[in-house]
Structure 1
């Protein structure tokens, strides 16, 4: 049986994951300062992005996300392991993205896992490490495929 503290920790971590998805979908990249630790390591390379620190990732997102005309991040299957003031997580994400193409628009579907490390700070739980693990990509426009 989970203790009240364990239940609270899990709910806070799940809320953190939702806050991340909301910040990305609303393109409110400054909100990521309240989601990640200052020394966070973030790796989006599995899905074609970059790896870097929080400042580098915010710059990347500011440049990359406006290319897409619509997108959503749906998270689920949160597998969380809490050990005191640290935790690990594996979170499923379904990410449809609308891509402008010559013919108009095309919706591609990305399936991935976030492999996370979390740390409790004086301001609450934060993501200290996030790495994407690819599950699938469907209907990706040809110009976006690796050469």
Structure 2
């Protein structure tokens, strides 16, 4: 369903099929820069989908599929709690170790406020907030595990966007951030 939706939007942009209610000249009224903006928005949405898959695949225990959304040479920087992981196979192995013995959706990683900047035709950066909760506590327990911020770099490999670098800044309950975190993002002029 989602792929069909993306294909439909792409068709509207690429071959200028216009819904009748917009009138026959609607796409002709768009400037080339507006058409490029629409294309860029499609790329941003594809990147956001990768980030959504990241949480869903991790929480449902689909670690092999999770590892495949990273580039071969990806780097994960998870601070003193989990360390740095370099390369897709190390990422796969470490996620398997972290989540071994856990049931699906024992933890839920809620990533919100996702900001994406395209930095080139095949590169982008992004930031999102993390609210990590566990689902195994009773109603009286504290379900929140972490608050954090993901800073990421993305790379388009073929037609697919993948995560090239994933840096997690832990903000609560213990603040564990890297020096780069203090740089404002997004940079707004």
Same fold (TM over 0.5): yes
- Tell me the residue number matched to 1:133: 169
Give yes or no for contact 2:67–2:89 (8 Å, CA) kept in 1. no
Distance in 2 (alpha carbons) for counterparts of 1:23 and 1:135: 23
- Tell me the residue number matched to 1:28: 62
Which structure 1 residue ranges, 4+ long, deviate > 4 Å from structure 2? none
SS of the aligned residue for 2:82 comes to coil
**1:49 and 2:82 equivalent?**
yes
- Tell me the residue number matched to 1:119: 155
Query: Which of these residues, 123, 134, 144, is aligned with residue 97 of structure 1?
Result: 134
Give yes or no for contact 1:43–1:130 (8 Å, CA) kept in 2. yes
Distance in 2 (alpha carbons) for counterparts of 1:58 and 1:31: 9
* Greater RCO (CA < 8 Å, at least 6 residues apart): 1
Specify which structure has the higher proportion of helix: 2
Specify which structure has the higher proportion of strand: 1
Query: Which of these residues, 75, 87, 90, is aligned with residue 124 of structure 2?
Result: 87
Give yes or no for contact 2:67–2:91 (8 Å, CA) kept in 1. no
- Tell me the residue number matched to 1:142: none
Distance in 2 (alpha carbons) for counterparts of 1:50 and 1:73: 19
Q: Which has the larger radius of gyration?
A: 2
Distance in 1 (alpha carbons) for counterparts of 2:163 and 2:57: 14
Counterparts of residues 56-95 of structure 1 (less than 5 Å): 56-66=90-100, 70-83=106-119, 84-95=121-132
Give yes or no for contact 2:108–2:135 (8 Å, CA) kept in 1. no
TM-score, normalised to structure 1's length? 0.79
Give yes or no for contact 1:114–1:130 (8 Å, CA) kept in 2. yes
Measured after TM superposition, the shift of residue 50 of structure 1 is 2.5
Unaligned 5+ runs, structure 1? 139-147
RMSD: 2.3
